Amino acid sequence: MNAEKVVLPAFPGNGIARVTRWHVKLGDQVEAGELVAEIETDKAAMDFESLHTGTVLYLGAEVGKEIREGYLLIIIGDKGTDVSDMIRETVETYALNPNLAPSMAGKAGEIRLFAGKDVPRNWRVCDGSEMMKKEAEDLYESIADVLTDKGRLTFRLPDMPSPSAGVNYIICTQDQY
């Protein structure tokens, strides 16, 4: 059995998008070129067409929830194909698995979705917790202009609720390339 996964491609702007409408549901048959979703970014709204012909085996984004480039949008393939390994593999890669060094690169202040239990080095969960300036100087410098007291020794991380079970927003605390 065969299946193809489609991730949210890179696009101009801040890298954040929302699915505003799905035109398909699980189990639907689609043809390559058929409209499957409407996606909105900070720059534009666009139609998202299927790249493959087959059955919709997985829909990865809830309508209205923010997602980032690289997010698993949809899996299309032969009816009855088990896609659980494809989903798990993509989530682990997208989750910035610490064993996958290239996926850990980031710029201080960058926020990504994370679907894992071990937050990578130099990343923190956006839970509103307090940090010492000396723990994350790159991050502190990137957000110091929004702090009311720039001379503080501590600051708070953004407080961003989890978009779904097992998924959190994380913020890069130190530039990494």
Which of 21-30, 91-100, 154-163 shows the lowest mean pLDDT across its residues?
91-100
What residues contact 48, with CB distance under 8 A and at least 6 apart?
35, 36, 37, 38, 39, 73
Phi, psi (rounded to 5 degrees) for 163: -75, -20
Kind and range of the H or E run holding 145: none
Residue range 36-46, pLDDT digits in tens: 999 988 888 88
> What's the CATH number of domain 3-94, 1.25.40.10, 3.40.50.620, 1.10.3720.10, 2.40.50.100?
2.40.50.100
**Digit-coded pLDDT (tens) for 77-87:** 999 998 888 87
* 96, 116 Cβ separation under 8 angstroms: yes
What is the pLDDT at residue 100? 38
Query: How many Å is the Cα radius of gyration of the chain?
Result: 18
Indicate the pTM of the whole model.
0.53
CATH number of 102-172: 3.90.1340.10
Domain boundaries along the sequence of the chain: 3-94, 102-172
